[in-house]
Amino acid sequence: MPTMPAAPLPPNPDPVLNQPITPELVKKHGVLPEEYAAIVEALGRPPTLTELGIFSVMWSEHCSYKNTRPLLKGFPTEKLGPTADFGRVLVKAGEENAGIIDVGEGWAIAFKIESHNHPSAVEPFEGAATGVGGIIRDIFTMGARPVLLTNSLRFGELSSPVTRRLFRGVVAGIAHYGNCVGVPTVGGDVYFDRSYEGNPLVNALCLGTLRHDQIRRGAATGTGNPVYYVGAATGRDGLGGAAFASKELSEESQADRPAVQKGDPFMEKLLIEACLEMMAVPGLVVGIQDMGAAGLTCSTCETASRGGTGIEIELDRVPQRETGMNSYEIMLSESQERMLVIVQKGREREIEAVFAKWDLHAALVGSVTDTGRMVVRQHGITVADIPAPALTDQAPVYQRDAREPAYLAVTRAWTPAGLPDLDAAGLRDALPRLLAHPTIASKRWVYRQYDHIVQHGTAVEPGSDAAVVRLRLGDREKFIAIANDCNGRYCYLNPHRGALIAMVECLRNVVCSGATPLAMTDNLNFGNPYKPEAFFALKECVRGLAEACRFFDVPVVGGNVSLYNESREGAIDPTPTVAIVGLIEDERHITRQFARAAGDRLILLGGAPCELGGSQFLGLFHGLKTGDAPAVDMPAEKRLQDFLLAQIKAGAIAAAHDLSEGGLLVAAAEMLFGAAPLGADIDLSALAAPRLDALLFGESQGRVIVAVPPARAAAALADAASRGVPAADIGAVAAGGTLSLRTGVAEAAWPVAELRRAWETAIEEAMKRPGLD
Amino acid sequence: MNIAVIQFPGSNGDQDTFHLFASGLGLPTRYVWHKDATLGGADLVALPGGFAHGDYLRCGAIARFSPIMAAIRAHAANGGLVYGICNGFQILCEAGLLPGALIRNACLEFRCVMCDLSVEPSTAAFSPAALGPSIRLPISHGEGNYRIDDAGLSRLEANRQVLLRYARNPNGSIGSIAGIRNERGNVFGMMPHPDRAFERFHASRDGLAVARAVLASRFPELEKRTA
């Protein structure tokens, strides 16, 4: 719809709002001079202060993706090949708050991951809590009932008291919110690395279920339809949070505390129930959107823009919990637990009745228009009048410069030739030390604080390769497997390959649990895009993710970009976090990583290429973060995953565990940490190995250890051979509590109980020391 | 047999408790909204887990003022079965239908873990003879630290009102108490979750036996039928 140039706005009696827009004021809003010129052009006049604020948040990276949009276009958003009974994309990435995938029988899932890194750095508890709240709203906004949460966390080294304070606060914040709202936190990943010191990453994912006919859109349609504001009242908290998230953290960031919101999970719980109840009434809700980043501003202009309409709101009707808030503050507030709902005209009573039942506000704040403009009034004066598309589709887009960082030439050329190999004593010591490294160690300290069993659908609890959750789809049951992953160390050493690894490993985790991968959501956590080296990493990682998505035909259903992740130490390791959801149609196919019976053969799939680059071993024993990331062979990976899934479905696999951080021996040990007290006898003497350390602790990709009942082992090995999957019988699960190892050059044995203690208590022990307050 | 599961606005274990009885035991089960005034002829009233009214102040402190509580009190006074799980247990204590109180876990953190529990000799249906000496149920709470004064504790022990004790105390509860009943034997409360231990894929399915034991306190024929 064509939009008319804006009429000049009347002077505002409030001197703050009426102040002339100076270059300093523009700069303070993080708006570039050329962007300001574009604003003046879009409006046909200089903006008011309120309008400048609105543009600054909508054109921030957080809302506009202005530095990443061209890159993200490379992601496949639909299945490329034919779909079976499930897996079709029903709502594509970028169309709505979250993408939606068909899971068959007329049912679907909506899921998405989102970051809350900057708020968590400044105020870990509230920052993380509101991150969970925000992503849950993105899901139920689509009409879906949230059924699970996961999160992906990155911190500095646990030896730092600052890290411990952040870690404790973030975990407690996630627990506080997720536990109260009643959505189980079933899985996640946590890495500890110096590069995240002072700039932790907090990425939260939510998944919900819905019937196809329950899908809702965030579009304001139907001229004259009333616009409702529901949920919590607006305060001054979270003012300009989207803009805050779009700059680097600094000494002054603590002064940005008012930009961190406070969460109220009980309010969120009421909103979930009330909104789902309201959306279940046929024809009542026309459009719905949560007020997340950029609050009332974003929800109004985005719904109008999607609907191809205009929207008018009256701020005097907005519930406010503080007095004297001006239009700038109300429009930019990021107070939590608020939704915008567009209702079918004439049915106002029905929505008000639903919200009264749940003791919630439902305030009529405006209406849908046919002007294509977003018009905001306060105290009888128009304070903003902006063509809605200028804020959304017409936001600036930049192609940033990319330059390969100089260090890559050095790290890529590194070889382990100068390093002494492990000897027998070193080997004995290395395994428990690696198992006790916080990145590898059990995350029990974390997940025992999360309610991971509410809704009673959790079939595989946190601690295995992927979490598995039962979905009730009418009177049918199916199971969802979900894993998230990203090793930033690999991305630092080779951004493109690191991103491929994030994808293939996440897929492997999902397949190890018995699931057919459906789709992925990603959270791109990077440094300042204006720095060509940081932009290079971003570009290369996105290229890698997109390539792997196409190869495995796994569409991207949505995601989030978090840039400016830098602190005094410099940029974080590039961290394109990937979360993949898979479907298990038959409960009997659910597979865990834990060995179940003595005598089962242990089969290593994928061989032993003995790469040491980027490994935890190099970091822990040699203080090195160098070498190239492990090689990725996608066709081989695909063969492996197809084989594994076929064997699981044939009932031949008792346990399957992906090889990742810590490599072969760590994975073998981890398979013994289940409910049954078991050991293993492992013999690697048949494997050719130039170095012992690389054989045992190298992190080559495309590998899985499976436990197979002895009667099925020969057939499994034969099937692997016929499919071109390298497979080697490396020993058996044993009844005694000992892990014994034999290689061509060394022998060692460990009591499993001792290994388990090291692995299980490492984080708990570290967290006994008080954090810095 | 007719089960009523109360829904407070912040209940989040309501589906769990519903399905324990409906899917797990196959009994007619329905929800009752906390603003309702009547139970509609329920044989057992179940108060599920969650955060009834946000519970920022004290768990269950506001829920006892919900309109449905008058009907629940009357039901209990008539000898009807009342069963609180987790937040439901907290509410029953706040409402005075069970003795004692639940405060913040001694570790000051939320705990979601599987627990080994010893079954105490309490009633014919709730005894080691009926349920076995120990069972496994998960806990999932931040405020499950059971407290009661010395006199109250002596009465609980003397009357055999303790149903379950933790083998390894996860929250600091006095006497490792995980669940209790009232003196009369018709009001039950426990922090562990039988409603999350009954599906085929759950790590324990002992929740079914626990739910049966509660019901059998009033309906011994059920115990025989489903044993």
pLDDT tens figures, A41-60: 999 999 999 999 999 999 98
pLDDT-derived band at A725, boundaries 50, 70, 90: very high
To which residue do tokens 């990331």 refer?
A: A629
The C-alpha angle A594, A600, A604, rounded to 5 degrees, equals 75
Whether residues B9 and A269 touch (CB distance < 8 A) is answered with: yes
CA distance B16 to chain A (A): 6
Residue B194: closest CA among A453, A480, A145: A453
Task: Give the pair of three-digit tokens for residue A111.
Answer: 């899921």
pLDDT at A4 over 60: no
Q: What's the mean pLDDT in A244-255?
A: 60
Q: Which CATH number fits domain B3-226: 3.40.50.880, 3.40.1360.10, 3.40.33.10, 1.10.10.10?
A: 3.40.50.880
The per-residue pLDDT for A250 is 62
- Least confident range from A329-338, A505-514, A566-575: namely A566-575
The per-residue pLDDT for A251 is 58
Q: Cα A606 from chain centroid? A: 28
- Least confident range from A234-243, B81-90, B99-108: namely A234-243
Percent of residues, chain B, with pLDDT higher than 90: 89
Q: What is the pLDDT of residues A292-313, one digit of tens each?
A: 878 899 999 989 999 999 999 9
Whether residues A456 and B110 touch (CB distance < 8 A) is answered with: no
The per-residue pLDDT for A80 is 86
- Least confident range from A30-34, A233-237, A376-380, B19-23: namely A233-237
Q: What's the mean pLDDT in B77-95?
A: 97
| Pairing relationship of beta strands B145-147 and B101-103 according to DSSP bridges | antiparallel
The per-residue pLDDT for A772 is 47
pLDDT-derived band at A205, boundaries 50, 70, 90: very high
* Cα-based distances in Å from A582 to A170, A252, A400: 27, 43, 35
Bridge partners (DSSP) of residue A112 are A206
* ipTM for the whole complex: 0.95
**CA A287 to CA A177: how far, in whole Å?**
26
The per-residue pLDDT for A773 is 40
Residue B29: phi and psi, rounded to 5, are -135, 140
To which residue do tokens 């999902």 refer?
A: A510
Q: Is A631 helix (H, G, I), strand (E, B) or coil?
A: coil
Whether residues B53 and A461 touch (CB distance < 8 A) is answered with: no
Q: What's the mean pLDDT in A338-361?
A: 94
Whether residues A456 and B195 touch (CB distance < 8 A) is answered with: yes
pLDDT at A256 over 70: no
Q: Which residues of B touch A265 (CB under 8 A)?
A: 51, 54
| Pairing relationship of beta strands A185-192 and A145-155 according to DSSP bridges | parallel
Q: What's the mean pLDDT in A148-166?
A: 96
pLDDT at A705 over 60: yes
**CA A597 to CA A386: how far, in whole Å?**
67
pLDDT at A248 over 80: no
pLDDT at A544 over 90: yes
Whether residues A470 and B109 touch (CB distance < 8 A) is answered with: no
Q: Choose, out of B112, B202, B205, the residue to mutate when testing the contact with A (most A CBs < 10 Å).
A: B112
The side-by-side arrangement of strands in the sheet containing A145-155 is: A89-91, A99-104, A107-115, A201-211, A145-155, A185-192
> How many alpha carbons fall within 13 Å on the CB side of residue A468?
30
Whether residues B9 and A273 touch (CB distance < 8 A) is answered with: yes
Tell me how crowded residue B108 is: count the other CB atoms within 10 A of its CB. Answer: 9
The per-residue pLDDT for A424 is 87
- Asked whether A231 and A93 are in contact (CB, 8 A), the reply is no
Q: What is the pLDDT of residues A86-108, one digit of tens each?
A: 899 999 888 888 899 999 999 99
pLDDT-derived band at A2, boundaries 50, 70, 90: very low
Domains of chain A: 113-391 (3.90.650.10), 591-768 (3.90.650.10)
**CA A688 to CA A685: how far, in whole Å?**
8
| Pairing relationship of beta strands A362-369 and B101-103 according to DSSP bridges | unpaired
Q: Which residue in A269, A447, A457 is closest to B12 by CB distance?
A: A269
Mean pLDDT computed over every residue of chain A: 93
Q: Which residue in A179, A454, A587 is closest to B200 by CB distance?
A: A587
Assign residue B185 a region: left if phi > 0, alpha if psi is -120 to 50, beta otherwise?
Answer: left
The per-residue pLDDT for A393 is 86
Active site residues of A: 62, 116
Q: Cα A523 from chain centroid? A: 5
Q: What's the mean pLDDT in A257-275?
A: 87
**CA A83 to CA A89: how far, in whole Å?**
9
The per-residue pLDDT for A36 is 95
Q: Choose, out of A174, A337, A360, A454, the residue to mutate when testing the contact with B (most B CBs < 10 Å).
A: A454
**CA B212 to CA A330: how far, in whole Å?**
54
Q: Which residues of A touch B202 (CB under 8 A)?
A: 456
Question: Which amino acid appears at position A176 of this protein?
Answer: H
- Asked whether B10 and B53 are in contact (CB, 8 A), the reply is yes
DSSP chain B: --EEEEE-TTB-SHHHHHHIIIIIS---EEEEETT-S---S-SEEEE-SB-TT--SSSTTTTGGGSTHHHHHHHHHHTT-EEEEETHHHHHHHHTTSSSSEEE--TTSS-EEEEEEEEEP--SSSSSHHHH-SEEEEEEEES--EEE--HHHHHHHHHTT-EEEEESS-SS--GGGEEEEE-SSS-EEEESS-GGGS-STTSS--THHHHHHHHHHTT-HHHHHHH-
Rg from Cα positions in chain A: 27
Q: Which residues of B touch A357 (CB under 8 A)?
A: 35
The per-residue pLDDT for A216 is 87
Q: What's the mean pLDDT in B123-146?
A: 96
Q: Which residues of A touch B50 (CB under 8 A)?
A: 182
Q: What is the pLDDT of residues A731-760, one digit of tens each?
A: 999 999 999 999 999 999 999 999 999 999
**CA A369 to CA B20: how far, in whole Å?**
50
pLDDT-derived band at A254, boundaries 50, 70, 90: low
Q: Which residue in A172, A176, A270 is closest to B9 by CB distance?
A: A270
pLDDT-derived band at A19, boundaries 50, 70, 90: confident
pLDDT-derived band at A240, boundaries 50, 70, 90: low
Q: Which residues of A touch B56 (CB under 8 A)?
A: 266
The per-residue pLDDT for B227 is 43
The per-residue pLDDT for A241 is 59
- Least confident range from A214-223, A368-377, A434-443, B217-226: namely B217-226
Whether residues B112 and A452 touch (CB distance < 8 A) is answered with: yes
The per-residue pLDDT for A293 is 78
The per-residue pLDDT for B217 is 82
Domain ranges for chain B: 3-226
Q: Which residues of A touch B199 (CB under 8 A)?
A: 456-457, 459, 470
Q: How many interchain CB pairs under 8 A, A with B?
A: 90
Mean pLDDT computed over every residue of chain B: 94
The per-residue pLDDT for A246 is 58
pLDDT-derived band at A81, boundaries 50, 70, 90: confident
- Least confident range from A293-297, A723-727, B105-109: namely A293-297
